[in-house]
Structure 1
Amino acid sequence: MKVAVIQMSPVFLDKKASWQKLKALILEAIGEGASVITWAETLLPGYPVWMGMTDSARWNQPEQKRAYSTYVREAVSLDGPIVTEMREIASEHEIMLMGGILEAGISSVYCTLLTIGFEGEILGRHRKIKTTYDERLIWADGDIEGLRTYDTPEGKIGGLNCWENWIPLARAALHQEGEMIHVAVWPGSYSLTKDITRFMAMEGRSWILSACGVYRGEDFGHLSLDDFPMRDEMLKAGGLYSGGSMIVGPTGEIIAGPLPDYDEGILYADVYKRTVVEERQNFDYSGHYSRPDLLTLTRK
């Protein structure tokens, strides 16, 4: 089964334009025969990269409030036109889509890993269970409703958002459900992801699809100061997140990627259930190498 990892820069704070860009790459990956296609954390409409670069934590700061309101405006509704079009593409081409969106709630927003199945159905939405550092000023905490796996022809697939991949119990929850292919979505930094990606592959004897974004200061130029008061400050920021997407096999070998820093493109690999089974002969930490009579994971 061919899988694809898309690495791209969003049209920041413009979900419609970002979707058009992402859609073109999805269709390109379909043309190359990909059956499962992934992309980075909250790529639609972008990761809140400005939070670590501006005066984001100051209480009652008007510029931050304005940027936040623009960000919330650009959140993606699960019953809206973008997700509807994703579902149509998945159904028409019999593919699975699994990638990051900023999900619109009633008033709050969530860092969501959305999974759309081969028949175009929404299989699940995994809202990040614990937002990281300054993300807590933007995103609401999620839940474990979407912390599960889904069937593919080459084994069960699951996924986690960014630093959730560093939470052993979150990884274990997916392994308990038989995960063989793992999607890890990030804002984009090879230095941040290279070690944990290979570790997860070796730990789980699993295929790892690590999807990263690309962010540069110059990408903020299209925004108005009314929508994004920190625009000029961000334009001077230079390189922010350089990418680092890769696909890693069950023994920890890098199969595809990483792309050169700040490049956009698509990585491909063929993944096989049989390879996972072979590698789990000597280590299967949710199977024969576990002791559920001594150690168990309990969901709440």
Structure 2
Amino acid sequence: MSGTYRVAAVQAEPVWLDADATVDKTLALIAEAAARDAALIAFPETWIPGYPLFLWLGPVAGQMPSIARYHANSLTVDGRHLAAIRQAARRHGITVALGYSEKDHGSLYMAQSVFGADGALVLHRRKLKPTHVERTLFGEGDGGDLVVADTPLGRLGALNCWEHLQPLVKFAMYAQHEQVHVAGWPSFGLYRGLAHALGEEANMAVTQTYALEGGCFVVATTQVLGPAGLEVFAPTDGQRALLSPGAGCSRVYGPDGRRLTEPLDEHTEGLVLADIDLGLIDLAKNAADPVGHYARPDVLRLLMDDRPRSVVRVPSASPGPVFPDPDEPEHGSAAGTEDEAAAV
């Protein structure tokens, strides 16, 4: 792969709290991106089974039915859903950066996995610090989750949502000489007009800053909130008043901070496409490389512990999640379709 290729940022609505249906939609978007000559497709934060907006819309007691459904529709790393997505990546020859709720026994994590064009795992990570009420549902990642992978598409990394507001987290990524960054976001329809920090303007500003500071391309991908989402999350007038439909704003930024894509309407589902040239990174960093010639390690340095953590240390055990070979017979397609299994 040369340094010039096409990327696709998803702007779409999940099938809320339904893993099977959202994986089917995921497979269709992967096929569409490949047909439009994209080498990389990026999906939003917790795309599967959708961002849990119910956390922000009422007391905990009333959330229990939604929490049970969310757990039931979260993905395991060795399950059929991720196997189907890996199969699709390999079949279409496209790298897939996926955001999803990962279920690890009784705990959930805001995960991102990248699968290469051969279906192999490129990286897997968990959100280091879930934001605000997210911490009532999701566990935390650790230093092993701040990783940039060397791939045929360049040095590729990913963060979720307000991880882009944490300066030391960003610097840890920049220091790994990231070239292409996936920024996973939910929709920006929550508390619109009431909480500026949750809106499009503020969060796209920090995304653009990430591209400029890191001297890298940023593929920002967002969810759309439509009538189906309002029906699931906001049955009362008070809850509907806290949500605005639409709120998608996927885009791609260049290493000089320029936006490289025209926006879709906030209510429109689709792919936002950009052709990127990794050679432009050298030009951007010639002016300011925060982890190179523009750094002052004699004054400021980051102390980072990148060791994975576990509540039990078993010397014979391998740390981290295990992604089995999706070709194994026990792994079918997410929706159980024969076509998906036969096409691999």
TM-score if structure 2 supplies the norm length? 0.79
The answer for the alignment partner of 1:268 in structure 2 is: 273
Contact 1:247 1:257 in 2 (8 A): no
The answer for the alignment partner of 1:215 in structure 2 is: 225
Deviations 1:149-202 (A, max 9, x none): 122345211110100011111111111111011111010222342211221111
The answer for the alignment partner of 1:227 in structure 2 is: none
2:20 maps to 1:21: no
Secondary structure of 1:100 counterpart: strand
The answer for the alignment partner of 2:42 in structure 1 is: 38
Deviations 1:106-149 (A, max 9, x none): 10101011111232112222111111111111111112323111
- Which of 248-257 and 101-110 deviates more? 248-257
Q: How does 1:70-85 map to 2 (within 5 A)?
A: 70-85=69-84
Structure 2: where are the runs of 5+ without partners?
189-199, 306-344
The answer for the alignment partner of 1:200 in structure 2 is: 210
1:104, 1:64 → 2: CA distance?
A: 18
2:256, 2:226 → 1: CA distance?
A: 33
- Which of 35-44 and 199-208 deviates more? 199-208
C-alpha change, 1:110 and 1:255, in structure 2 (3 Å) is same
Q: How does 1:1-300 map to 2 (within 5 A)?
A: 1-56=5-60, 61=61, 63-189=62-188, 190-219=200-229, 221=231, 232-233=235-236, 236=240, 239-240=244-245, 242-300=247-305
Contact 2:30 2:88 in 1 (8 A): no
1:93, 1:296 → 2: CA distance?
A: 42
- After superposition, the CA RMSD in angstroms is 1.8
Contact 1:187 1:212 in 2 (8 A): yes
Contact 1:43 1:213 in 2 (8 A): yes
Contact 1:126 1:147 in 2 (8 A): yes
Counterpart code for 2:254: G
Contact 1:154 1:271 in 2 (8 A): no
C-alpha change, 1:217 and 1:236, in structure 2 (3 Å) is farther
The answer for the alignment partner of 1:226 in structure 2 is: none
Displacement of 1:241 in angstroms is 5.7
1:148, 1:257 → 2: CA distance?
A: 30
Deviations 1:234-277 (A, max 9, x none): 88455256111110111111111432122111011111221001
1:240, 1:22 → 2: CA distance?
A: 21
Counterpart code for 2:36: E
2:117, 2:297 → 1: CA distance?
A: 34
Contact 1:244 1:257 in 2 (8 A): no
Counterpart code for 1:13: L
Contact 1:5 1:267 in 2 (8 A): yes
1:257, 1:55 → 2: CA distance?
A: 39
Displacement of 1:291 in angstroms is 2.3
Contact 2:156 2:179 in 1 (8 A): yes
Percent identity among equivalent residues?
A: 31
Contact 1:126 1:144 in 2 (8 A): no
Matched length: 288
2:252, 2:119 → 1: CA distance?
A: 25
Displacement of 1:286 in angstroms is 1.0
1:69, 1:220 → 2: CA distance?
A: 19
2:262, 2:110 → 1: CA distance?
A: 25
Counterpart code for 1:232: P
Contact 1:113 1:127 in 2 (8 A): yes
Displacement of 1:96 in angstroms is 1.2
Counterpart code for 2:221: A
Secondary structure of 2:282 counterpart: helix
Displacement of 1:217 in angstroms is 4.9
Counterpart code for 1:233: T
C-alpha change, 1:19 and 1:192, in structure 2 (3 Å) is farther
Displacement of 1:220 in angstroms is 5.1
2:50, 2:177 → 1: CA distance?
A: 31
